[in-house]
A and B are shown apart, each in its own frame.
Chain A
Amino acid sequence: MIDFSILVNYFPYYIEGFLNTILASVLALIGSFVLGSILAVFRITGVKPLQWIGTAYVEFVRNIPLLLIVFFFWYALPTFGMRLDGFQAGTVGLTIYTAAFIAEAIRAGILSVPKGQMEAARSSGMTYVQAMLHVVLPQAIKLVIPPLSNQFINLIKNSSVLTVVAGLDLMYFADKVNGDSYATVSAYVFAGLFYLVLTLPMSYGSHVLERRLAKSS
């Protein structure tokens, strides 16, 4: 069932896909973290219009399939005169989609820091931003790390959505190997192993980080 010659013969394919998957994941990870943080701040500031924007974004994006978002950037944008190739459309879609979940994770983390912390910081003379940066956020980070690392692992796996828009990712090349060799099981098992190479260290790393932060408090 598992034919190792498939891995050897098609190694360049796997590597190209693997590198593209890493690139798409890293770009989307950075993008969605930045965007997600901004949205989380929008939602907790108490400024109504910002709250509305944040809520609307999260509820809208979180409740439609990722594939649909990617299709939008891939099919719909050309009608507005903008063209993204499969890789770009897929990465942008991933960023937009994951940002909604990250915003929720960060918001939940900040809100779960007891209110008294903020109140105490403010009454000892800190501004809102100072209190946020020096008192609330350091405590929130510990709470946010497990859900965040979950989202990042999901992001890596979700990057396989690139394959439907010919984004040249790992899954795309696994399809190509399958089509070329007809060794279906092997073609996909090896793709799965490449994904594990990315996700297992990530999951392990987040556990280590979690423990280290727990000790430091």
Chain B
Amino acid sequence: MNKKRFSLLLVCMIALVTVLGACSTTTAPSASNGAGGTDSASSQLDQIKQRGKLIVGVKYDTKLFGLKDPSSGNVEGFDVDMAHALAKSILGDESKVELKEVTSKTRIPMLNNGDIDMVIATMTITDERKKEVDFSDVYFQAGQSLLVKKGSPIKGIEDVTADTTILAAKGATSIKNIEEKVPNVKVLEYDNYQDAFNALKAGQGDALTTDDAILYGMAAQDPNYEVVGKPFTDEPYGIAVKKGQTALVEAINKGLTDMKADGSYNELYKKWIGKEPESK
């Protein structure tokens, strides 16, 4: 490569970067509410009753909440049981449930185009999401917590200092949260939760942080690890329905209230999480 060609290449590169830069940043249009926002003529609740079946979006890849067993093909978890309990409350028969797989990305679009009646998929209630869907009452109170090897000196967020190495998954809000709680804490980020958990097992750090709901799943995988301390953030999970379906939200909330009153909610919680819910 001679000098002339080298500088030509440089000029090309600079030009490319500038051209790309000139393309103005277009922010993604905020998703619309979808069809039938305020149209209550055919309420979703009536449709469900007519159909005699509840179509629920759940996750198929989240331990403890919605996980497909590869050998039996059954999807099992807290969210799945919750769907059956609501079917019992709304339709009087807990078997009248059809499950559909959703991911964090697909759940709102699938809800809005009518593929599913509701989303029960570890979905945190946020103001941002409230603009696009309606939420039931909180059905699971999650919060960011810490997973450590049993016998670790870390018993909660108060034991985390600037000398502690925290492991986390890339891009998660949990990193920002812990950096706010403990300034200058050392955080190592991995591609996903499994890699972060492997790093914890390999002794690369002192504690792993994310929603306690996910941490409980990891602790269930390997009994040498435990979730410690009280959650230090609020991640209230809600059941999402299409915007404007007030009757359905009320039906869900009634189901939740009844479950809490007759103790079946606590049973369900204990079945999956392994302990009674902490009263807030």
Q: Which of A's residues lie within 8 Å of B, judged by CB?
A: 1-4, 74-75, 78, 83, 85-86, 164-166, 172, 175-176, 178-179, 185, 189, 193, 196, 203-204, 207
Contacts and interface: CB of A to CB of B under 8 A. Distances in A.
Interface string B4-33: 001000000100010011010100000000
A189 B18 CA distance: 12
Interface of B: 1, 6, 13, 17, 20-21, 23, 25, 170-172, 175, 188-191, 195, 198-199, 202-204
Given A1-B25, A2-B20, A203-B1, A166 B202 contact: no
Contacts of B21: 1-4
B171 A179 contact: yes
B171 A166 contact: no
Nearest to B175: A179
- A contact face: mostly helix, strand, loop, or mixed: helix
A178 B23 CA distance: 19
A207 B1 CA distance: 7
Given A78-B203, A172-B189, A207-B1, A189 B25 contact: no
Contacts of A2: 17, 20-21, 23
B158 to A, nearest CB: 25
Q: Which of the listed residues A2, A83, A204 has the most CB atoms from chain B within 10 Å of its own CB?
A: A2
A164 B20 contact: no
Contact of A166 (B13, B23, B204): B204
Given A166-B188, A172-B189, A83 B20 contact: no
B215 to A, nearest CB: 19
B195 A164 contact: yes
Contacts of A78: 202-203
A86 B1 contact: no
Given A2-B17, A78-B203, 17 more contacts: A1-B20, A1-B23, A2-B21, A83-B203, A83-B204, A85-B204, A166-B204, A172-B189, A175-B170, A178-B171, A179-B172, A179-B175, A185-B20, A189-B20, A193-B17, A203-B1, A204-B1
